[in-house]
Amino acid sequence: MTASPPPRKIELVCPAGGLPALQAAVDNGADCVYFGFKDATNARNFTGLNFSLDQIREGIAYARQHGRKVFLALNTFPLDSNQADWTAAVDRAAELGVDAVIMADPGLMAYAARAYPDLRLHLSVQGSATSFEAINYYHERFGIQRAVLPRVLSLAQVEQLIANTPVEIEVFGFGGLCVMVEGRCALSAYATGKSPNCDGACSPDAFVRWEQTPRGMETRLNGILINRYNDGEHAAYPTLCKGRFTVKDETYYAIEEPASLNTLEMLPDLSRVGITAIKIEGRQRSPAYVGQVTKVWRAALDAFMRDGEHFTVRQDWMAALNEVSEGQSHTLGAYYRPWK
């Protein structure tokens, strides 16, 4: 009997909110790292995160020394009043020589494709492309070579999409799970007046308050009570979608319970449907998180490549990932829909 061919290589794309996180990702086996400038041109525009030009140059040099790729997230939407800041960011990306720019705004893609035809463009999850027709449009008009899918599609929908596009497909494999279609959520903007899609931050830190009260630790977003925690209970960063609210006299996570997406057990299926890359979420997380998650996923991908037919998820892998998961629990999210 002829042995089955080895699985096609899947790239591991890991987050870097700063230079130590980039180094942790590279040291633990990331194939690619992604990062952003210290401004609103990226969708993780938080105080203390992201890279200056000198830090990006140092990070690129470190990644290149180890044979890894670097992607720049330029994945928010400019306004008429500040469009020059976004086009200048494209110019800097081209000058830096990054391996790809991750973009969401069609106008900015048009500028990049016209000014730098050799600059590789990836469609960001913020572009909200959930069909092959949408992805093919971006490919035909702007030369997009890879698309990152929103975390709202089932595995069957991902498979059908891949079968109908020449564009490489990257999916989220681990990290924070958003129940909204990325690029279309207005909850944070409703509460704060600042749009994550234009200002680069969901629940901007300027609007976040933590207060110890006689009733427990309270977290607020622009004055709105998001959560109240008992003593010893882990207090998460306040976002509206993961708040506990009182509905008909019952207080609970009314929109989404805190849990991380973890698709490790789906690795054979994700390979079978033809994905190009697995993305790890977490540019706002610590270098220790980046290192731990990258190390586990590198080990799993290597084990799968060695013997895909007998691949099984090790318990120590899951335990290590649960340690850094939201609520210390995980879910397959929209990928697994048994009723479909």
* Mean pLDDT calculated for residue range 123-131: 94
Q: Which residue has 């697995």 as its token pair?
A: 278
Strand partners, 51: 37
Q: In the prediction, which pLDDT does 260 show?
A: 82
Q: Tell whether 241 and 264 lie within a shared domain.
A: no
Give me the number of domains the chain comprises. Answer: 2
Residue 2, in any domain of the structure: no
Q: In the prediction, which pLDDT does 181 show?
A: 66
Q: In the prediction, which pLDDT does 252 show?
A: 84
Residue 78, in any domain of the structure: yes
Lowest-confidence region among 163-167, 239-243, 292-296, 310-314: 239-243
**Which contacts qualify for 26-31: CB closer than 8 Å, 24 or more apart?**
26/62, 26/63, 26/66, 26/68, 27/291, 28/290, 28/291, 28/292, 28/294, 28/295, 28/298, 29/294, 29/295, 29/297, 29/298, 29/299, 30/68, 30/294, 30/298, 31/68, 31/69, 31/277
Q: Tell whether 62 and 124 lie within a shared domain.
A: yes
pLDDT tens-place string over residues 266-308: 999 999 999 999 999 999 999 999 999 999 999 999 999 999 8
Among 20, 67, 75, 73, CA closest to 48 = 20
Q: Tell whether 232 and 114 lie within a shared domain.
A: no
Give φ, ψ of 199 to 5 degrees.
-100, -10
83, pLDDT greater than 50? yes
- What's the whole-model pTM score? 0.90
Residue that finishes a domain, picked among 227, 253, 279: 253
* Mean pLDDT calculated for residue range 88-93: 97
Write out the two tokens for 145: 């070579």
pLDDT tens-place string over residues 313-325: 999 999 999 988 8
* 60/237: higher pLDDT: 60
HEC per residue, 236-278? CCCCHHHCEEEECCEEEECCCCCCEEECHHHHHHHHHHCCCEE
145, pLDDT greater than 60? yes
Q: In the prediction, which pLDDT does 334 show?
A: 73
Q: Tell whether 171 and 224 lie within a shared domain.
A: no
Q: Tell whether 135 and 96 lie within a shared domain.
A: yes
Q: In the prediction, which pLDDT does 1 show?
A: 44
Q: Which domain holds residue 237?
A: 187-253
Q: Tell whether 25 and 170 lie within a shared domain.
A: yes
Residue 340, in any domain of the structure: no
Q: In the prediction, which pLDDT does 99 show?
A: 98
Q: Tell whether 108 and 170 lie within a shared domain.
A: yes
